[in-house]
Chain A
């Protein structure tokens, strides 16, 4: 029976697939404890990666560097689309803008950072479509309506300004604005951060559903381990700019190896 292991080939059926997004020796180190130390990271289609850690651990800086919004001091970010791999910080500004507009979505913690307050809800969604070439008003409005209902906003609110929306509703609008162009990768920074618990649950469930239906690749920054457990396939734990532990979400949370991860996990109140 021992020999059996050698009879069958020890192959990796997934080896042929290349990561959608890949960071190599990426670093942005302002000062000790500010930014993040060199790290490697891969993200595949349909995969959700959570970056957890306390405030000041470099999570948000890393998210910016990964999403094309912050030129890193060191290392590179590769984005594969079609047959090509673009090195985000070596291509031209115009090419990078193009990738970010067509293929990336960014969900900010504060919805108003990602919305236009003086444009209607429908306009907020439609604007993204116009940026990628949609011109027909009827089509754009129809698409906006369909996305409002996908994120559970009453379509009667289509002409209202986002500043009249509640926090949870505005966050859902921000998600609709991001997903309407069918991005390949969505970056989320504490998307449930400032929301009431009941609103959080609804939003998380919505994100979970959309991620799986659209097969999105997601990088989500959160300090909430419950959010990570619910949404993420993999988790990366950061402390003072360094990755101290990474792996399968349930493995990291149920069998944490690093002292800091153990501290984080044991600090959560049992429900």
Chain B
């Protein structure tokens, strides 16, 4: 199947200049691809570089070597070398991300947070709100919380707002960093159904899932990882 994203021979290390210049190798020579409608799960023990790989695929970490090609407007964009505003444009339309934690913006309500990515690409307010309400309902975020800023929500509630935000647009490529980590089984199942729906819509998905039972339900393929050295 034709890949939607290809990482070719990517390596990444951190140089800690203020701690004696220690160099930590986190990724070494990874070749990786994901196709539309496919979910690839990164698997490996703690410290094997799963999160670093995922962050590199988002352009959040700068790889030292290799190419990260993503299909964008019928062309390949190399995330490892793209201009910041190309990456931002890619993230706005093509590349979605659900992190483990919600970065709360002061005073912004849960509903606004979920609506924001839709408004940013010009979806009308009413339509964005309908979609946001549907997702928050699906993820069992109590309605009386929708108009409140999530700073005081529980970890699981914040996480579900975060997931709703990540799924509010049908991104062709979606990166999931342990989206079910702080959720109970029922809510984890709700997330699994969102992933299935996104796949059916043709999304390419790369994810990290701590729970084996979740992984088994969503993964088409496992990408095994080992610590670089």
Contact = CB atoms under 8 A, between A and B. Distances in A.
B121 interface: no
Interface in A225-267: 230, 233-234, 247-248, 250-251, 254-255, 257-259, 262-263, 266
Contacts of A266: 18
Interface stretch (A6-14, A27-35, A66-74, A141-149): A6-14
Contacts of A257: 15, 62
B86 to A, nearest CB: 6
Interface in B78-133: 78, 83-89, 105-108, 120
A81 interface: no
B185 interface: no
Given A251-B62, A254-B60, A262-B16, A13 B73 contact: yes
B61 A9 contact: no
B169 to A, nearest CB: 16
B52 to A, nearest CB: 9
Contact of A233 (B62, B75, B77, B84): B84
Contact of A259 (B17, B59, B85): B17
A12 B89 CA distance: 11
Interface residues of A, number: 33
A255 B17 contact: no
Contacts of A201: 106-107
B25 to A, nearest CB: 14
B3 interface: yes
Nearest to B107: A205
Contact of B60 (A1, A255, A262): A255
Contacts of B164: none
Contacts of B61: 251, 254-255
A205 B62 contact: no
A135 interface: no
B184 interface: no
A189 interface: no
A262 B18 contact: yes
A205 B85 contact: no
Contacts of A11: 73, 75
B18 A251 contact: no
A259 to B, nearest CB: 3
Contact of A8 (B14, B75, B85, B108): B75
A205 B108 contact: yes
Given A1-B33, A8-B76, A14-B86, A263 B18 contact: yes
A4 interface: yes
A44 B18 contact: no
Interface string A4-44: 11001111111000000000000000000000000000001
A204 B15 CA distance: 33
B107 A202 contact: yes
A14 B85 contact: yes
B106 A205 contact: yes
A190 interface: no
Given A1-B6, A233-B88, A266-B18, A254 B107 contact: no
